[in-house]
Chain A
């Protein structure tokens, strides 16, 4: 029925000059084209040039590509990015599902829990990074203050520890958001499924694995897409927390791009990294879409 209505309204709109509707989309299109679409093409074009931000932009063909691709810094940055992506996903996903399932209960105190719980969502990465930097300072942080040796480590000075801190702080910032997604997902699972399983004598663990998890499939895909694609562009947090250090232990792609471009003034090379970032992002989105069997954003289009 709605399809018929839709066709009627659309033909009606078209018949009296649907010409007006495209004009309405124009401001958004122009804004998006100038500051997102043109830069997207620009990043590819600039990757074939050399530019030190002061002089002229010179066309140098594949020079910047050769420079980046032969630099051992690139595989390292890719590896760091991959590791951050994998570890933060591997830590956040189970935790977010557990918490989301718990918060989906309707007890009053859980609502209160949720209020406190979601505070990290509101804070800027810069504020979070500064807080943890001060908190973990080996001389003046809580470890020293409490006199606890295991907390008094050079958290940001040892490569392994610094990496762990980055994963932890990322989780601190984003677990609430993903728990919120899972909370919403769990609340949409039809109760009748649990009632039927209960009649069959299934226990809680069994129900979790045979009802909750499969029913959360699309939420898991959406949440994972956001986590994985999002972790490609972790910049603020790492920039303020470790600046890629110690050494280049936490120098992920986005930070590598910034450093090559705005600190080493090699804009061509930085754009090569930009192109790689875009490609990895697109590949990830396509891959997850393939796994999920549908577009993670499609549920919105279907009005689900």
Chain B
């Protein structure tokens, strides 16, 4: 599994020391090209981020006059104050509600389905079909189906509500979640299931009492990944809501930039910083979990 692999690989230098280094270290030329490209791209990644942070601390008039890469002599938080007054706390709350409202059901449903698929070990035709269906869902660009989703949401009279964002997001998150979770449930030793069965535990009890706690790291990983997808989602909020007070953060960003304050570049960039700040904080706290989560579904 990728997650276990990543953490294992990351620990390697500590356990095997110099011996575990790249074999050719002593005699071979260093990887100049790789190093060059990596450092170059690091600069490409960091320069815009550095720029938005320092620019968001400048006043609008200062922005036009100063060198773009020199931090302001008198940093100001006025831009942030303006952005917060522009209802960004509300948009933040909306994003949070949609993320939590999506992640909890999608992960619980996916876990139950993954458990059933693994435990039936292909013996049940219905579950085999369900599994292939979810695999197919991975290959199809689900965004191509947004117009029927839009129609469905209107017919259900959910248009312009946060629920309208949550329901399709749950469905879109399921295929990958089931795939990743079933891989981890498959790693639980069969003997443990057997002993639960001998103790007379029901499948329901085995599911929550054994499989769920044993695969908690995977559950956390999948939850983080889904939360990030929803948090950053743009298309669904764009087509399924219209009132300003139903906006999620990415939509609010675009609206702010396209609106009357759009000419105030430092304020626009302050809004960008504000939306990425919570994720950056989460990233510094749970980096390993997050990175392994992002590749868990795809790594070889």
Contact of A99 among B34, B239, B250 (CB under 8 A): B34
Considering the complex, give the chain A residue whose CB is closest to the CB of B39.
A113
Given the known A-B contacts A21-B116, A126-B250, A134-B268, are A274 and B144 also in contact in the complex, defined by CB atoms under 8 Å?
yes
Residue B285 lies at the interface, judged by CB distance under 8 Å to chain A: no
Inter-subunit contact B133/A126 (CB<8 Å):
no
Interface stretch of the complex, out of B71-79, B81-89, B271-279? B271-279
Q: A32-B134, A35-B152 are in contact. Are A135 and B300 (CB under 8 A)?
A: no
Question: Which interface class (under 10, 10 to 19, 20 to 34, 35 or more) fits A?
Answer: 35 or more
Chain B residue contacts of A5, Cβ below 8 A: 190
Task: Report whether B275 and A181 are in contact in the complex, using a CB–CB cutoff of 8 Å.
Answer: no
Residue of A nearest to B234 (CB): A236
Task: Specify which of B31, B175, B257 is in contact with A204 (CB 8 Å cutoff).
Answer: B31
| A39-57 residues at the B interface, CB under 8 angstroms | 39-43, 46, 57
Q: How large is the interface on B (under 10, 10 to 19, 20 to 34, 35 or more residues)?
A: 35 or more
Q: Which residues of chain A are within 8 angstroms of B186 by Cβ–Cβ distance?
A: 303
Q: A9-B194, A101-B31 are in contact. Are A21 and B38 (CB under 8 A)?
A: no
Q: How far is the CB of B247 from chain A (nearest CB, A)?
A: 11
In the complex, B143 has a CB within 8 A of chain A: yes
CA–CA, A34 to B126, complex, Å? 18
A129: nearest residue on chain B (CB-CB)? Answer: B254
* Contact across chains for A24 and B116 when beta carbons are under 8 A apart: yes
Binding site for B on A (CB under 8 A): 2, 5-7, 9-14, 18, 20-25, 27-29, 31-32, 34-43, 46, 57, 95, 98-99, 101-103, 105-108, 111, 113-127, 130-135, 137, 140-142, 145-146, 172, 175-177, 180-181, 184-185, 187-188, 191, 194-195, 198, 203-204, 207, 218-219, 222-223, 226, 229, 232-233, 235-236, 239-240, 254, 257-258, 261-262, 267, 270-271, 273-275, 277-278, 281-282, 285, 295, 297, 299-301, 303-304
Closest 4 CB pairs of A and B: A42-B148, A102-B34, A35-B171, A124-B232
